[in-house]
Chain A
């Protein structure tokens, strides 16, 4: 079973990095930003390859259904 997890790093200067793991779709951005906002201002966002791969998988699934019809 997949768990929804967050990896949080707080460096020696207090800067915070939040990484989501196992949170599907664009909701991962919402979750990460909500956690970051607990302690300060969101400075930047970086969507990794996995974020975009998820969108590709959704597109592929839709195409298959269209072909069957």
Chain B
């Protein structure tokens, strides 16, 4: 019996509608909920709010999917996180909130991006493995939020 470990850095390549479904599922694990309110174009109290921006380099939102200008807003306890497609086609996340410092917002943003990536990878793997006649025989989430799945060739 042979054993091998292979580590991979994920690349998020998806159409915007796919990505919004993934974001909706992922942010819930950190207590965020999708906001139905529009993003205000002019803010009344700009100076009172801290902000942090993260661009996900290993990502590509596919063109031709109505992504231009699209945004998705999620919120938790006065913290607002806006996912969008930047000019280069990468996924961008902007966070703002009054009660957290810029570095705390940045860390929270990294956590959010991590969960979005995790959910994207999970759904992509599961659908691809099913197409390759691999069947999930065991699945669970550990205390550190790692998803573990065991698949078997049919």
A residues adjacent to B (C-beta < 8 A): 2-29, 32-33, 35-48, 50-51, 54
Contacts and interface: CB of A to CB of B under 8 A. Distances in A.
Contacts of A4: 152-153
B4 A40 contact: no
B39 interface: no
Given A35-B129, A39-B121, A40-B58, A18 B152 contact: no
Interface of B: 1-11, 58, 111, 114-118, 120-122, 124-125, 128-129, 134, 137, 144-153
B34 to A, nearest CB: 20
Contacts of A27: 2
Contacts of B134: 6
Contact of B146 (A11, A33, A37): A11
A36 B128 CA distance: 11
B121 A2 contact: no
A14 B118 contact: yes
Given A4-B152, A38-B124, A12 B7 contact: no
Nearest to A10: B147
Nearest to A29: B4
A21 B148 CA distance: 14
A37 B11 CA distance: 10
Contacts of A28: 2-4
Contact of B4 (A12, A20, A38, A39): A20
Given A24-B1, A24-B2, A17 B149 contact: no
Contacts of B2: 20, 23-28, 50-51, 54
Contacts of B114: 12-14
Contacts of A13: 114, 117-118
